[in-house]
Structure 1
């Protein structure tokens, strides 16, 4: 029995020797005892890194770290945990009159320190002794741990704590991939409203018409997921990614790379930064040293620019136009008053307050055992009096998470203790701290999410309905601040609302108005976009809309074709109603043609009157006056039938004008053919021995006129019976006009009418040409030959001219052809006779004619 007792003493003594044989300075922690202890791992500084070996904490010479920056605002995270624990301890009902303690460490942003501090929580000493419990009074009370600030640090903490199944709550931004990095149990995470955040960013970009955006994301899985999702959302809403920069810019030692990066940053006027601030904080000096441009930075609450204490004037100069999204949080009741009452003598054992207080109040500092101590510093100062760039009295998102994490652990303890009370096993005189892993079932029932190795996430996202939008500003008092300028409320993809107060937003020192971020300037009205090969769809050229199409909005991908009854204006941004056009009597051309037609018809009537008056003269009688009367009447009707072509087309006029034209002209040409026939036959009939009699000639001429006219009537009857002319519209021939016209119906029938007239005219021309050598006196062969030649030339030229004309011109061409051919017949045949009748009527006789 004595031997066994001696062995136990030796083992305990050896353990104590191991715990106290460390020859390097401890990484100090802030410990406050309680019935239960919660560990806390926070990041208060940016240092040069750990100089000790990662695997052996005992035998390495220690060198003091170089501190780049003291992030004084991150001390609020610790105070949020202290504040929550103090409130819980004041409420005796939560833990059944038991108390909470804490053990806090600063791990900076170094993953090795996170591992070391996690081991220190388990061994009770710092530096730690793995697999030893040097301070059972500390380690046996540990129930959970809160930390760290980033995914990398949270991962290293979890790799240690998960070996002992100690619950860990991370206050880092939610990372779905965290479960795949930890081999055993992953930490609990606070849900992140990623869907709401994406939609809020998209709506903000659309609100200001920022379509050309640069992205700055961390080079990790979380950055990859964000880049993939936000790019997809932007593309769906017509927005483009100008470039996407991953990782730390400052890691490159080549200054040329920085200049290339800054040149890329100048392309878009809007930069979207995602990720925690410390992942890019060494890039900020590059912006302040090299950048002379004015970008608008859109960030999330994780991008906490105001946490950086260095060169605040420069930071706010280059980020003063920034807009930040933050999940709407209710103020923690009493937390501001608590922060205002914090003083070093109130918490004399808080070793971290020594550093923070000396920085915030700009006190002289001295180093002793690598711990900053207050020296000649204002002991009664209040944090509420300090400027924003070194301290912010408003609750940061991370502080809010830490405070909520403490209450989540306290609630889990309450539920575990409640089960023991109901079972009658809770005896405060013999206190037994619950084993840490017994809290897992209770933590899983809360609103915390947890990643697993299989990728399943419990309650990974609770849709936050509101995001607050802040603007980095320099206030009139000289204070730098984040001012709330709007909010985004999200209920569903179909129900969301963005509200902004534009008057509260400042766009930096060099911007007087809302900046524009586009790859290409908007295409004005009347122009459409055309893509540029090799560039995103936000980069385009502007092309004028083609004829007949308009663009009544800016940046249209395709022009809109105007309806048939409308036409585009000169700017091609509006469709105007087309004007109905036809050859009317009010038009200048219509009035001229009408006047000419009536004048020629009147002239024909005068010649007819003249022939009637001098009907007994030899020249009238010698040329078959009945045919002359008929020809003059038909020519007069030809002139008048052209009037039917003038005016708005109707069913009646469309049918009558071609039929009347065809029939009247066939009568006129048939009469000319009959006159030509009579000229030839008359001279043959008077020769001695001729068997032809004049009465037979007269009857034959009448038969020619009747047959020639009846055939044309039959052609017109077939035309009207099959496919008659009808009123129609032509919307394409004339720009801005709807041409009212007559559709000829059967084109074949129309050209049959013209062809038949051509046949009669050609036959007359041929016969007259053969009779040209007959005696000159009262011989109409020459005049008929010339008149038929004019007639044929007019109508031969009519066909190609008619086919190449459009709109009102077609009608005018046909009218001119009618008038020209009729006038040619009238002038060539009857003007010489009028000359003879009026000027030489007395010198002719039947005898002279016979000679």
Structure 2
């Protein structure tokens, strides 16, 4: 049944929107509730939603015309009128406030109709129904009018202001604060209750962050107030990493078939949290729209302007989709004595209140009958108490709008008090002369009072207390089957840097989620080992998750950036933890190290065997013909070359880093210089020393010795300069090998290192050139061919070494250099001495062969 009512509410409101322009001032104004006084304050309120309204008389046992298309009676709004009556009764009991003069009131119900609000405003001025413009039919009432309180929405307040501003009558609006009311040309803007928008925005943002809701929707009225709200709160949300999933304006749709209706449905399905900014009337149709469709499971966040519990429906009806809604309201204390006053309200106490009769009949469900299309009210419990009514139709707690009405009455009374005080001080106080007050004289006092005008008066409109406190309410189910707003927290705003949010999690009810906080994200947080990367204009909330690069991790979900591990650590495969790096170097325990050590020792032993063989057969022609002393030097230097490769294996230390390159450079220079000397001897022996030549062989021998010494000394000088300027030193490489700390020897001066290699290359190239030229010289013991081949092997190895060395890292780089040393040395050993060994062992006579092969 209640769903049917809600659906009907939506349809009729749509029809009302289309036909509202058809109303004219020819429709009689609704009767008002008048109470005389020395000064009269007008009040324009909204008690129900109707499509049409005829003149009605409310009284028990009296006939009344049936109003057409009464959509819903907002019985809780009657509290606004009671707040005004209560405030005036208290003021009238205090003789010092108005100098023994009294306040009266003239109250109207405009039924959320802007045209009726305008008619009622004119009725306040003329006192006739229908009103007669610029003519006072009831001067005893009209002349006493000093101010007007109303209306409930921006549109109604604007229409009231259009009439009252012509006569300069002060108007205090209890509608939500709207800056656009202060920017209308040629209109006197109504006074409004200033609101600290920064506190409200920050409170909403802090609540969203508390529940980690960063993907939210906005629903606002299609007017300047809604536009401003979207602009300002969106800017603040972006600063805090919150994104607006959608911003829907004009929630009151003209028909169900419109694209925007389906668009809103899609938005509500895709977005869990929705912020609704506007007053109750703005969302009457929205409430019906949502209720007539499916339950989307949204969490609604509202302000006090949208009083969620205003409609008189029970728990299983209209409010099911709004179960768990959260609302912000400016902190206010309960009006002292107002609850007791409400308990004492009865129709008999206020017989002239035409509104209480209708409200009472609804609250107490008075039986009625129809006679000739006339409704008869009877047997109504006139002695009943409002405190006995259920929360779905009446709430004894002071609503935010009732509090505003109460404060507005006191603001007018204070302005009257100050105006009267001036007359007393000027000795012009005459009670008779006060029967015709001038309303515009109250403007200066209202401007200085608690309520400020919103015509860009910074000292009034932006007036802020040192701290703003907001109460947070939650929409709750009660055992009685109805709903109520329950205070679940507070928000205290002192400045953007000083703000405090207090929430009682035990009291918060999130409706269909059974107190499980729902997710409201465009995308779930990136897991460990991944980071966010932006890809759309929802830059903060919508993103891709990409894995962290090597060496970087994320140890929390939803991180924007990966962070690097310390240099001595590396990231695991999951990129969520840093692990200590393994210290690595070419050690004697490694397989590669064992192989290289074995090869070096074997080649050294083989060199020693050949040296022993050459010493044993030193008198043979083949050894004597090739300068055996140079052969001994070459074999010893090659043996040392094999041994020097051992210094490259093991943990690098200062001594080993310095010695290994120096030993390598000097020993290899001795070996290559010896080969160069041998080449020189071959050339000298066959080209220069001829029969009858005066040059003696002993001179050639001395020159060859000098070549070995000079070649070695030059390399020693290069190494000495290297040691004196920028010598090698132990170093670590943490980047080349993933997950490893490479211990290595930094060569220090790279130029000196390549000078050592370059000098060896120069000696080898010179030997190769000379030997190549002498390769065809005739002689049985000519070494030119073997020197040519040995130098070709030597040069090939070290030419290949350079690019391989530069492209290698860590242990591989050391292994490349060791391999080059062993390969080049082995090449020299094999090419220079294996042919001689073959000739010595296999071609030295039958006696030796028999001895060997016996």
- Confirm or deny that 1:796 pairs with 2:799: yes
Structure 1 position 90 matched with structure 2 position 93: yes
Deviations 1:143-174 (A, max 9, x none): 22211111111122222222222222111111
- Give the deviation of 1:46 after TM superposition: 0.7
Match of 1:70 in 2: 73
Name whichever of 694-703 and 318-327 sits farther off. Answer: 694-703
Alpha-carbon deviation of 1:758? Answer: 2.9
Alignment partner of 2:460 out of 458, 461, 467: 458
Partners of 1:666 and 1:591 lie apart in 2 by 27
Query: Cα 1:488–1:298, aligned 2, differ >3 Å: closer, same or farther?
Result: same
Cα deviations by residue, 1:752-809 (Å, 9 ceiling, x for unpaired): 4323323433444455556666778666555444433432332232122112212221
Partner residue of 1:14? none
Deviation digits for residues 6-26 of structure 1, max 9, x if unmatched? Answer: xxxxxxxxxxxxxxxx99765
Note closer, same or farther for the CA distance 1:160–1:828 as it changes in structure 2 (3 Å cut). Answer: same
Q: What CA deviation, in whole Å up to 9, does each residue of 1:820-839 have, x standing for no partner? A: 22223334444455566667
Please point out which of 507, 521, 524 is paired with 2:510.
Answer: 507
Residue equivalent to 2:379? 376
- Cα distance, 1:349 vs. partner? 1.7
Could you say if the C-alpha distance between residues 457 and 770 of structure 1 is closer, same or farther in structure 2, counting changes exceeding 3 Å?
closer
- Which residues of 2 match residues 649-798 of structure 1 at below 5 A? 649-678=652-681, 693-720=696-723, 724-768=727-771, 780-798=783-801
Task: Give 1:726 shift.
Answer: 4.5
Alignment of 1:427-576 (within 5 A): 432=435, 434-452=437-455, 458-463=460-465, 465-510=468-513, 513-533=516-536, 537-561=540-564, 567-574=570-577
Asked if 1:168 is matched to 2:171, the reply is: yes
2:208 equivalent in structure 1: 205
Residue 178 (str. 1) matches residue 174 (str. 2): no
Equivalent residue, structure 2, for 1:113: 116
8 Å CA contact 1:585, 1:647 repeated in 2: yes
Q: Note if 1:353 corresponds to 2:356.
A: yes
Query: 37, 41, 46: which is aligned to 1:38?
Result: 41
Contact 1:159/1:182 (<8 A) preserved: no
Q: Name which of structure 1's ranges 826-835 and 477-486 shifts more when overlaid on structure 2.
A: 826-835
Residue 251, structure 1, aligned to residue 257, structure 2? no
8 Å CA contact 1:111–1:152 kept in 2: the answer is yes
| Matching residue within 597, 601, 624 for 2:600 | 597
Native 8 Å contact 1:36 1:101 kept in 2? yes
Question: TM-score, normalising length from structure 2?
Answer: 0.87
- Rounded to whole Å, the distance in 1 between the matches of 2:844 and 2:485 is 116
CA contact (8 A) 1:631 1:672 kept: yes
Aligned 8 A contact 1:155 1:181 in 2: no
Report the Cα distance in structure 2 between the residues aligned to 1:719 and 1:816, rounded to whole angstroms.
Answer: 24
1:802 match: secondary structure? helix
Number of matched pairs:
814
Match of 2:15 in 1: none
3-state secondary structure, aligned to 2:148: strand
Aligned in 2, Cα 1:712/1:423: closer, same or farther, shift over 3 Å?
closer
What are the Cα deviations for residues 505-536 of structure 1, in whole angstroms up to 9, with x where unaligned?
22222565211122223233333333324655
Match for residue 8 of structure 2? none
CA distance in 2, matches of 1:542, 1:437: 65
Does 2:655 correspond to 1:631? no
- Using the size of structure 1 for normalisation, the TM-score is 0.87
Q: Which of 313, 318, 335 does residue 315 from structure 1 map onto?
A: 318
1: CA distance, partners of 2:774 / 2:297:
99
Distance in 2 between residues matched to 1:679 and 1:131, nearest whole Å: 138
Q: Residue in 1 aligned with 2:59?
A: none
1:185-241 Cα shifts (integer Å, max 9, x gaps): 322211112111011111112222222221111111211221211111112222222
Alignment pair present for 1:152 and 2:132: no
**Which residue of 1 is the match for residue 299 of structure 2?**
296
Give the corresponding residue for 1:134: 137
CA distance in 2, matches of 1:714, 1:554: 61
CA distance in 1, matches of 2:469, 2:538: 36
CA contact under 8 A between 1:316 and 1:472: conserved in structure 2? Answer: no
CA distance in 1, matches of 2:77, 2:370: 22
Q: CA separation in 2, counterparts of 1:686 and 1:185?
A: 129
8 Å CA contact retained: 2:29, 2:123: no
Residue 196 of structure 1 corresponds to which residue in structure 2?
A: 199
Task: Please tell me whether the aligned partners of residues 196 and 462 of structure 2 are also in contact (alpha carbons under 8 angstroms).
Answer: no
Could you tell me how far apart the structure 2 residues matched to 1:422 and 1:800 are?
A: 107
1:249 aligns to what SS in structure 2?
Answer: coil
* Range that drifts further, 751-760 or 168-177: 751-760
Q: Tell me the secondary structure at the aligned position of residue 125 of structure 2.
A: helix
Compute the displacement of 1:250 (Å).
2.3
Q: Deviations over 1:255-303 (max 9, x none)?
A: 5542222112323211111010111211222111223321111110011
Tell me what 2:230 maps to.
227
Partner residue of 2:817 out of 814, 818, 831: 814
Q: 1:633 to 1:78 in 2, by over 3 A?
A: same
Question: How far apart, in 1, do the equivalents of 2:373 and 2:724 lie?
Answer: 116
Instruction: State the Cα distance separating 1:116 from its structure 2 match.
Output: 1.4
The alpha-carbon distance between structure 1 residues 193 and 430, as it changes in their structure 2 partners (threshold 3 A), is closer
Match of 2:648 in 1: 645
Distance 2:812 2:228 in 1: 68
Contact kept? 1:50, 1:110, Cα under 8 Å: no
How far apart are 1:495 and its partner, in Å? 0.3
SS across alignment from 1:166:
coil
CA distance in 1: counterparts of 2:406 and 2:837, whole angstroms: 123
Following superposition, the deviation at residue 584 of structure 1 comes to 3.5
User: Structure 1 stretch 772-781 or stretch 186-195: which is displaced more?
Assistant: 772-781
1:560-583 Cα shifts (integer Å, max 9, x gaps): 455655544433345556555433
Structure 1 stretch displaced more, 358-367 or 298-307: 358-367
Deviation at 1:652, TM superposition (A): 4.4
Aligned to 1:101: 104
Query: Cα–Cα, structure 1 residues 371 and 538, in superposed 2: closer, same or farther, change >3 Å?
Result: farther
User: Which shows bigger deviation, 29-38 or 523-532?
Assistant: 523-532
1:474 shift after superposition: 1.6
C-alpha contact (below 8 Å) 1:364/1:375 kept by paired residues: yes
1:449-471 Cα offsets, whole Å, 9 max, x none, are: 1133x676734443452111111
Q: In 1, are the aligned partners of 2:38 and 2:435 still within 8 Å (CA)?
A: no
* 1:661 aligned counterpart, secondary structure: helix
2:22 maps to what in 1?
none
Query: Counterpart of 1:411 in 2: which secondary structure?
Result: helix
Match in the other structure for 2:9: none
Say if 2:45 and 2:108, in contact at 8 Å, map to a contact too: yes
Change (3 A) 1:121 1:695: same
Residues 30, 54 of structure 2: 8 Å contact kept: no
The 1-side partners of 2:721 and 2:260 are apart by: 88
